[in-house]
Amino acid sequence: RLVEAVALASATGAAVEVVTALASVKPRQLTAALEAGLSRLTVSLHTLDPERFRELYGFSTLDDMLGKLEMVLAWRDRRGYSLTVDLAFVAMDRNLDELQRIASFAAQCNIPVVAVHPVISRDPLPLGEVAERSPDGMLENGFRERLLDAVTTTRRVVPDVALQLSSSELSSISRLDGHSRLWPGPLPAGAKIGGCDQSPFDTVHVL
């Protein structure tokens, strides 16, 4: 019922976003969702290697995904419609070497943004334990440094594509004072929560 959901949300005047692996969506359903008023499509692309694609995704093929992405981009360019298309890259030890390649691919496709998400631990996880995180769930220091190095290099080599870091774990932690600011992790003694970056009164996430 994806198409009906997009149409219903779009009819309220809301900006409607969908995050998808894309390879699992039928072409007819994808086109219908675009026609129904989709505002933004984020494609989860973690590799451009066919063998690694099968390992990470467990279904479909890289060619199938890229074919559907090409269809979306052609639809966007043909319609002149204000559809935003971007990529989401889940960073792992096994694919960190591909960040620059994926950013270059985005530039070739006129996709202006790649969001970088450090892998998170979920149970069950078919790919095995998340070695990139320590037992307390925080990013392992070595992986964090390798990821930041990869981001710095990619930004220098592919300056036309914006790399957006989704995790506050990749930002320098400043000191808290009397002014509200983003703060990852446990609050220090005496600190209070001043707001939420995703207010339940302004946003709805359907997973």
Q: Supply the pLDDT for residue 188.
A: 83
CA distance 44 to 26: 16
Q: Supply the pLDDT for residue 173.
A: 64
- In whole angstroms, how far apart are CA 135 and each of 121, 129, 186, 187? 10, 10, 16, 20
pLDDT (tens digit per residue) in 50-96:
999 998 888 889 999 999 999 999 999 888 778 999 999 999 999 99
Counting beta carbons within 10 angstroms of the beta carbon of residue 46, is it exposed (0 to 12), middle (13 to 18) or buried (19 or more)? Answer: buried
CA distance 69 to 57: 16
Helix, strand, or coil (residue 78):
helix
Counting beta carbons within 10 angstroms of the beta carbon of residue 128, is it exposed (0 to 12), middle (13 to 18) or buried (19 or more)? Answer: exposed
Residues (pLDDT < 50) of the chain are none
